[in-house]
Amino acid sequence: MLSYQITLFSLPIINKITVLVKTLIQKIHIEEQFSFACRTYKTPHFETSWHKHEECELILITEGHGTALIGDYVGNYNSGDVFFLTSNLPHWFRKSHHKMIGSALVIHFTNHFLGEPFLQLPEVKSIETLLSGEQGLLLNTHSRKKIAPLMKEIEKGNGLERIFKLLLCLQEISKRKSGSILTHGLHQNNKQEDNSIIKDIIDYTFNNYLKKITLQQLADLSGMSIPTFCRFFKKNIKKSYFDFLKEVRIGHACKLLHTTEQSVLDVCYNSGYNSWAHFSKQFKEVKKITPSLYRKQYELIKE
């Protein structure tokens, strides 16, 4: 989502086949008069690729919609959504269309910016637990309505009020039912890293997910054999490639179900599937309900 100084390391090749890849590391700039960063990023500064950083991230989507990739989670994001990501959790917010405007208000802070003694106080135990965890959260409507205005005030504020309001945000997020846990920590232990292969695979997927994609195409793209590619992808994304592709396609189907009046059968064929039975099975695997019931539930929420 963010455009910063980028640190890249060389890509090791072992036996000319086995390739180890890690995530793009971004360096967050924090102005010297502040203890944490808070600013709005809008296209073209909204766009970046699969990345991570030392800082925790609190994100309010202010414009646009698309697909969120957070750790091993794949799902939709929409304007008004608020996400909280702990330190070093890989992520990527990808717009539905390259011509769309993407915008987000983003707060970055280290998990120790308040100081270790402060975090040991019993009154902030829940916040200390939150910051020391390894997870990504999508906040529910109740928490989002509390936190979004505070984030906007932080962006315009100065001095102690910024810290106080961020503490209020963290206090709300640390509540047990503040949101849905999307993913837990995604550990990647390679010492050398390169972002290009993972980026190419994800780009290829989003450009072609409505078509047939084969493992041979992906192996050729990554310069690996099929078995090596399968191991590589699961090592880095913590799921098989076809599980990832399934979630991308079902995410697109969900978008069609609540933004268009297409029949459920048309949604099936317009989401990369040529079999209703296969689509229905995969939809229920991802969403735990049928496509028709998903549409009905979404309509009830809107009412």
User: Which has more confidence, 33 or 163?
Assistant: 163
Q: 14 forms bridges with which residues in the sheet?
A: 18
What span, in angstroms and rounded, lies between the C-alpha atoms of 165 and 109?
Answer: 13
So where are the chain's domains? 5-184, 196-302
Which CATH number applies to 5-184? 2.60.120.10
Mean pLDDT of 59-82: 93
Which pLDDT does position 241 carry in this prediction?
95
Mean pLDDT of 151-165: 93
pLDDT of 213 above 50: yes
pLDDT of 190 above 70: no
What span, in angstroms and rounded, lies between the C-alpha atoms of 165 and 153?
Answer: 8
- The percent of residues above 90 in pLDDT, for the chain, comes to 58
Tell me if 43 sits within 8 A of 74, measured CB to CB.
Answer: no
Gyration radius (Cα) of the chain, Å? 20
Tell me if 52 sits within 8 A of 24, measured CB to CB.
Answer: yes
User: Which has more confidence, 25 or 257?
Assistant: 257
**Phi-psi sector, 144: left (phi>0), alpha (psi -120 to 50), beta:** alpha
Mean pLDDT of 189-218: 80
What span, in angstroms and rounded, lies between the C-alpha atoms of 214 and 222?
Answer: 13
Rounded to 10°, the helix 241-259/196-208 angle is 40
| pLDDT category of residue 85 using cuts at 50, 70 and 90 | very high
Which CATH number applies to 196-302? 1.10.10.60
Mean pLDDT of 254-269: 94
Task: Name the residue among 258, 291, 37, 285 with its Cα closest to residue 162.
Answer: 37
Mean residue pLDDT of the chain comes to 85
User: Which has more confidence, 87 or 6?
Assistant: 87
pLDDT of 55 above 60: yes
DSSP H/E element including 180: strand 179-184
